[in-house]
Structure 1
Amino acid sequence: MTTQGLRARKKQQTKEQISHRATELFLERGFDKVTIADVAAAADVAKMTVTNYFPRKEDLALDLGPVYIGQLAAVVRERAPGESALAALRGAYLTAVEAQDPVIGFSGRPFAVMITDSPALVARLREFHELREVALAEVLAEVTGAAPGDITPRVAAAQLAGVQRVLFEEILRRLLAGESGDEVAAALSAYARTAFGALEPGLGSYAVR
């Protein structure tokens, strides 16, 4: 492995260590009661190192944020020939439910409690939902060749991302109620088919590759 490769690996290990230690502290004490200094001490790094990797404290807890924001856009961009945006997103979502993927909300009850107990995390999560919708709208405009003033990609993105936001919130609600991951997955599989099916009349043939 090259020196550059070793350096990149070391940086990734440091980032993961910081994130892991931060999550442990947040789950133990609550997000709002933990400081950056606490995280730095637990990870055995300087405070500046923590903020270099995670400029916002909220992103220490929601470290999958960048993946979450870009997820829908990536699915649409990589959809199969002949597949619509709706079909691609529905298929990817059902696969994620089966895998109980943390990116779509399967984080476990302690993590769900940590998020909902912190106004700062709730606000940051709301930003993620909004950024996700914007990213999806941009890709839909690109893949459909929409004119600059065409509102259709934004309307489609609002519906497609909105369904997933509702499902995300339903996962949190069920986890907080004490349901197991398997119970939540069984319910969400049915809910997802209903939710995406409701969009079929308007978006079933939209953005077909």
Structure 2
Amino acid sequence: MAAVGVLSALLVLAACGDGGTASGSGAGTAPDATGAAPTGPEVSVPDETPSSADDDTVTLLPSDGATAPDPASPPPLLPQLVGADLEVVPEGGSAVTLVCSWTQGVVEGDGTHPDVTGACADLQSAVATGQPFEPVPPDALCTQQYGGDAVVAVRGLLTGADGDQIPVDATFSLTDGCEIDRWQRMGRVLEPFRGDV
């Protein structure tokens, strides 16, 4: 009788496996192709199905008002422009200097540019609304209109509020609709050099 009790106890232990869990709990080990149970500890894989009831995080979908950044729209050149030290060089003309600083909304300028104060104000606006020194993309569709022979190079440094300095080396012309639009965005920085149209 004692032998039957020992045999029963061994069968229960064998059914539980090495992990000590009772059969029927779903955690038993399956035999391999030879019929022998694998050795080593069991690995349990957690259920990766998300549970909305237990999840405190919220994923905003476009219908919830979330918008993803558009990689085709580059960020502004500088979040805030506080200084500029530029040389404006009209083709076939003399170079002029344009030194600007912006402190708490006050525009200060210096240099030999014909309209220092106006050019500094328009430069800040142009930088705040985009990247005015980027060239027209080669695949851009532009109207074939002609604005004149003027060509102007702008070189120097722009300084942001965080102290970052961005080098500038750009050429502006009036050869088609895209270039005319790019020129006009610079306002009084380039306008004195447009010449007769």
Higher RCO (CA-CA < 8 Å; seq separation 6+)? 1
Shared topology, TM-score over 0.5? no
Greater strand share, 1 or 2? 2
Greater helix share, 1 or 2? 1
Could you say which structure has the larger radius of gyration? 2
